[in-house]
Homo-oligomer: A and B are copies of this chain.
Amino acid sequence: MKKLINDPARVVDESVEGFGQAHADLVRVHTDPLFVVRADAPVQGKVGLVSGGGSGHEPLHAGFVGAGMLDAAVPGAMFTSPTPDAIAPATTAVDGGAGVLHIVKNYTGDVLNFETAAELADAEGVEVRTVIVNDDVAVEDSLYTAGRRGVAGTLLVEKIAGAAADRGDDLAGVAAVAERVVGSVRSMGVALAAGTVPHAGTPSFELTEQEIEIGIGIHGEPGRRRIPMAGADEITELLTTPVMDDLGITGEDQVLLLVNGMGGTPLSELYVVYRAARRLLEGRGAQVTRSLVGNYVTSLEMQGASVTVLRLDDELTTLWDAPVRTAALRW
């Protein structure tokens, strides 16, 4: 294993420390327990948004802390849920008196730990609501999940709910917007080659030079099936068709198309996938009115990509377009 790290046991702490130094205008890093809050937290009167999960998916979640998106992110160890004793103080730290929304990817450990943290914060007088993101259509249930997994759609929930909080929606309102995004977003991914978790030292799974895995999870957990390597258009169709089918995409729809890199695939290839996915959506008559292409919800240096489609309406479009100022997403 070759990695730009000093010690597998220290990589998350050192990385988050560097992140805090590089983005001191946007965030503050709290150590022991480890969490990241926006520099001006808590924002009085605004609903606070907290997300988190295992590390290794950067820029998710700390890269999305800042005005118009998350108020706090709680990084766990690599591919390991953060514990309630980190999530709870992050929650109270960003409560500006209007309560806090937890945005949680649907993995059993995350769901349980955020639930416990919500109870701890509630005991401190902070009202918490929770939204569970489960956009991955590849599999029902999985290694770490009851039900579908939460993947790249999470960033769309964070952005749009963040804009709702920013415009002054109350906790029930922000939660309702977040739930509406969850109900309208679906994803599916592919892996060409695995990443390596530092403390494991070997790749999370093995694929031969002729094999890819359709429906891969962001921790390398199994997808739908392994198939022989194919062209980008064909692979993209295997990802996009189930997403469109699950959403029931028709000629009536305006959509946001996110092509997300898993960390080790060149940007040039992500745009090849984007081109193919867009053509498929347009083939059903849908209009792609918003787009995002890049490495946002990664799996270390995994080679691969995912396709995410969000059905838009005027309100979601307006919230998507609202200003955002974070390390990884800014306009």
Q: Taking beta carbons and an 8 Å cutoff, which residues of A are in contact with B?
A: 1-7, 11-12, 14-19, 21-23, 55-56, 58-59, 63, 190, 192-193, 195, 209, 212, 229, 231-233, 235, 257, 263-275, 278, 288, 291-293, 295, 298, 300-301, 303-305, 325, 330-331
Contacts and interface: CB of A to CB of B under 8 A. Distances in A.
A271 B22 contact: yes
A304 to B, nearest CB: 8
Given A58-B267, A266-B263, A192 B21 contact: no
A204 B257 CA distance: 33
A298 B15 contact: no
B235 A4 contact: yes
A21 to B, nearest CB: 6
A195 B305 CA distance: 17
B21 A291 contact: yes
Contact of A274 (B5, B21, B63, B295): B21
B21 A275 contact: yes
Contacts of A305: 4
A269 B5 contact: yes
14 contacts: A1-B209, A3-B232, A3-B269, A4-B273, A11-B268, A14-B272, A16-B271, A18-B293, A19-B293, A21-B275, A21-B291, A22-B257, A58-B266, A266-B301
Chain A binding surface SS class: mixed
A331 B300 CA distance: 26
Nearest to A58: B267
A223 to B, nearest CB: 16
B2 A268 contact: no
Nearest to A4: B269
A21 B212 CA distance: 27
A209 B263 contact: no
Q: Which 8 A-B pairs have the closest CB atoms?
A: A18-B275, A18-B271, A4-B269, A58-B267, A22-B291, A15-B268, A18-B274, A15-B271
A218 B271 CA distance: 21
Contacts of A17: 271, 275
A124 B195 CA distance: 51
Nearest to A190: B4
